Amino acid sequence: MNEIFQEISEREPAWLDGGGPQADCVVSSRVRLARNLRGHRFSHHASGAELAEIRHLLASRVLDRPSFAGGWSLELERCTSLQRKFLLERHLASPDLVNEFQHRGLLLSADLGRVAMVNEEDHLRLQVFHSGFNPTLACQDALGLDAELEEVLDFAFSDDLGYLTTCPTNVGTGFRLSVLVHLPGLILSKEIERILNSLRQLQFTVRGLYGEGSAVRGALFQISNLGTLGRSEETLTSDFYRHVGKVIHYETLARERLLEEDRLGLEDTVHRSLAVLQEARLLTSLEAFDRLSHVRMGISLGLLPGPGVGVLNRALLEMQNAHLQVRAGRPLEGRERSAARAELLRRLLA
């Protein structure tokens, strides 16, 4: 297991490259499909033996598909607590999966752009990631993967309701579309609550960096659709593109307005943050997130010369606590982590 995990930790996810549409504002787009196997009880009612059987069946069938060729299977109880935290930080696993890890599993594609969580809330939660604001491509990719798996798996399905899932909000298509979006302009202009409340009224959920129950850091938000019953994947994607596209538009306007109203103050903020990241010897996680947020906004507005979005995405990922400790090969205490984080960011942003 340690050898497999080492391979995964050294592989950079393809969606981090910053090459997608509007990548200065949207880190990634993700589609998740919830599926359960016909003839098996839902995960929270199944026995340990049944969950183990489901995990074995799914690992053999999923990894045999072209989309997962050359990928990996992880049994979560065989991972250390640090390794599970690493998987959460890399957005390969959910908080529920890493906290309730007995008989749970992860199936990963070679480029880490496709992930199957096994025996979380549902037997199978397929996730597809793409760089930037690309919900249409993520949807097409996910539905193609679903078609591959339906050739070898019998999913629980009702002619009246659609795909049957543990949570009622997923019944129907089992389709959840989300983006990880950077909204510093709306925060600084104090418009963020108005925009987020509007999204909630339109049946979207807004969460922090790691999903449900997590805090917002570095002005990064996860925005997802909510209900799926009675609506097609194409309709959900079209609505998502339209409404989240408006949020991105409002963020762009907010940044431009901040630049017009106080260019000198904004220049000072972003240059000061870049200088700290390039020179600091100790950096807490909270400060690093905030400083990187300023730098990302400064680059998008042309106030800073670089680096590229891909470098900033990599910095966001690798500066997190578990990533720093996996890289070091040993546990790091608070001050050691702050020093390792500062050294990493100095190197990436030199």
Task: With both helix axes pointing from N to C terminus, report the angle between 309-318 and 285-300 in degrees, rounded to the nearest 10.
Answer: 170
Longest dimension (CA), the chain: 64
The percent of residues above 90 in pLDDT, for the chain, comes to 82
DSSP for 159-188?
TTTEE--SSGGGTBT-EEEEEEEE-HHHHH
Q: How confident is the model at residue 3 (pLDDT cuts 50, 70, 90)?
A: confident
Q: H helices of the chain, where?
A: 2-10, 48-62, 81-89, 95-99, 135-150, 184-188, 192-201, 233-261, 263-279, 285-300, 309-318, 321-328, 334-348
Block residue for tokens 């891909």: 310
Asked whether 143 and 177 are in contact (CB, 8 A), the reply is no
* pLDDT higher than 80, residue 210: no
Helix (H) or strand (E) holding 207: strand 204-207
Q: What's the chain's average pLDDT?
A: 93
Contact 146, 174 (CB under 8 A): no
Domain boundaries, the chain: 2-229, 262-348
Q: Is the pLDDT of residue 189 over 90?
A: yes
> How sure is the predictor about 1, in pLDDT bands with cuts at 50, 70 and 90?
low
pLDDT band for position 212 (cuts 50, 70, 90): low
pTM, full prediction: 0.92
Mean pLDDT of 3-26: 90
The band of 214, judged by pLDDT with boundaries at 50, 70 and 90, is low
Helices 233-261 and 135-150 cross at an angle (nearest 10°) of 150
CA–CA dist 52, 193 (Å, integer): 44
DSSP string over 223-254? EEE---TT--HHHHHHHHHHHHHHHHHHHHHH
Tokens for 304? 């800073």
Q: What is the pLDDT of residues 108-157, one digit of tens each?
A: 999 999 999 999 999 999 999 999 999 999 999 999 999 999 999 999 99
CA distance 69 to 91: 20
Domain 2-229 part of CATH 3.30.590.10: yes
Name which of 255, 224, 287 is nearest 28 in CA terms: 224
- pLDDT score of 135: 94
Given this model, what pLDDT does residue 146 score?
Answer: 95
Pairing mode, strands 26-35 and 124-131? antiparallel
Q: Rounded to an integer, what distance in angstroms lies between the CA atom of residue 141 and that of residue 110?
A: 15
Write the pLDDT tens digit of every residue in 242-296: 999 999 999 999 999 999 999 999 999 999 999 999 999 999 999 999 999 999 9
